[in-house]
Amino acid sequence: MIIDTDTASDDAVALAMALNHPDVDVVAMTTVAGNCPLEDTTRNALYTAELCGSAVPVYAGADRPLLVKAREATWFHGMDGLGDQGYPPPSRSAEEEDGVSALINHIRGNPGSTLVTLGPLTNVALALAQAPDIVGLVGRCVVMGGTANKVGNVTPAAEFNLWFDPHAARMVFASGLPIEMVGWEICRFEAGLDAAEQVALRALDTPLAHFFLDCNSTAMEAAHRQSGTRRLELPDPTAMAVAIDKGRVVTRSSRHYVEVEAESPLTRGMSVVDSLNVTGNPVNVEVVNAIDNDLFKQMVFDAAGG
């Protein structure tokens, strides 16, 4: 597995799910600006790997979107991306190689790997532009991003990752990569950890259980202000669950033509899913429509050491 991430609170949980899973070999993590500036997403990825006892190489990638101005989500995740808990700096630094080159080299060196994207798709778009041959070398590309004709979380039409760099998202969705789209709607409602489940997670009393809850504290409050929920909603971990154990986790999916709007101010970053296949355009995305929420939650608990 190769992970591209704008590591903030929910990304950190997703990284731990992969790094702590006995059947997953994470060969590289690349970071991108998104939830917070690149310096912070890189630090947070390194810190999370350290908590998991992993020395996986981390590479810093793009520090801004391709064409639009960067507008981070520190209002949601905290100024440091991890709930402003005052975590110490990691004991190691990112690799010297840049994230885009690292994506290309690790995909070429590990044909058939699963590429999991947890943030804006800037690094992936740049890698595709430089090395279009990698399209045929990726076994699966699991994208946390977009919504399947549902409400957005940063505009009425768009989910944050695709909105942050819509031109990159448009390129990636049109690239021919074997995309599995896990939209923001998958993490909502019953998929979120309710109050009792949060108490049970805390009761595990492991460093990662406390980390999962504490680093998401700012995000939980922001989500409550935005939608009224008191659940801990974890979009990136839902995508990671799909990447790790798709056969059991995904209960319903469908294949469609999906395009990302990049130009319209009103619908910038919208993932337009041709649900009825009315355009006649060739299918390019497998859209995840539903997951086994109980199994997903168990995977989060397992990652925390439960």
Q: What is the pTM for the complete model shown?
A: 0.98
| Average pLDDT value over all residues in the chain | 98
Whole-angstrom CA distances from 263 to 112, 193, 266 are 33, 36, 9
Closest CA to 95 of 30, 35, 36: 30
**Across the strands, what pairs with 2?**
28, 115
Whole-angstrom CA distances from 187 to 11, 36, 101 are 13, 21, 31
What's the mean pLDDT in 107-124? 98
Relative to beta strand 179-182, strand 140-144 is parallel
**Across the strands, what pairs with 247?**
none
d(CA 107, CA 136): 10
Instruction: For domain 2-303, give the fold.
Output: Inosine-uridine Nucleoside N-ribohydrolase; Chain A (3.90.245)
**Helix axis angle, 207-215 to 293-303, nearest 10°:** 120
Place of tokens 């991890």: 82
- Quick check: 294 pLDDT over 90? yes
**Across the strands, what pairs with 259?**
272
pLDDT band at 306 (very low <50, low <70, confident <90, very high): low
